[in-house]
């Protein structure tokens, strides 16, 4: 009967709110004094986790930009290698005969 009186006319959110506020009000101040440093620690850890997630997001964006630059440079190097290979294979350039250098 007591549970029915508490829950009559309340939706789930109000019920949870009433129960949790009742729990916090029923804790003794001595227990709350011992638990309050834990809340501070959890807040600090939460802030550290948020900062770390932001760091990872920024780092991934920067590494993606670096990867695209490296990919572009690799393509340019490949083009240069192809052009150099075609220049080396062309018959237009003849090697000059080198005379041995005489030592005195």
pLDDT at 33: 78
* Closest listed residue to residue 15, CA positions, set 26, 4, 1: 4
Q: How far apart are CA 60 and CA 41, in angstroms?
A: 28
- Tokens in use for 102? 């005489």
* Closest listed residue to residue 48, CA positions, set 56, 59, 37, 58: 56
Q: What is the pLDDT of residues 33-79, one digit of tens each?
A: 788 888 899 999 999 999 999 999 999 999 999 999 999 999 999 99
Q: Over the chain, what is the mean pLDDT?
A: 80
Question: Structure pTM?
Answer: 0.46
Q: Give 1's pLDDT tier (boundaries 50, 70, 90).
A: very low
For the chain, which residues make up each domain, given as ranges? Answer: 14-86
DSSP conformational letter for 10: -
Residue 81, pLDDT > 60, answer: yes
Q: How far apart are CA 71 and CA 49, in angstroms?
A: 32
């Amino acid at each position: 009967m007591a549970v029915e009186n508490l829950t009559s006319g309340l939706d789930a959110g109000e019920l949870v709110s009433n129960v949790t506020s009742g729990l916090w009000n029923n804790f003794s101040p001595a227990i709350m004094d011992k638990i309050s440093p834990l809340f501070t620690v959890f807040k600090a850890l939460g802030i550290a986790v948020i900062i770390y997630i932001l760091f990872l997001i920024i780092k991934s964006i920067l590494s993606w930009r670096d990867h695209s630059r490296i990919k572009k440079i690799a393509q340019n190097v490949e083009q240069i290698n192809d052009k150099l290979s075609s220049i080396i294979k062309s018959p237009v350039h003849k090697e000059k005969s080198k005379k041995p250098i005489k030592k005195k």
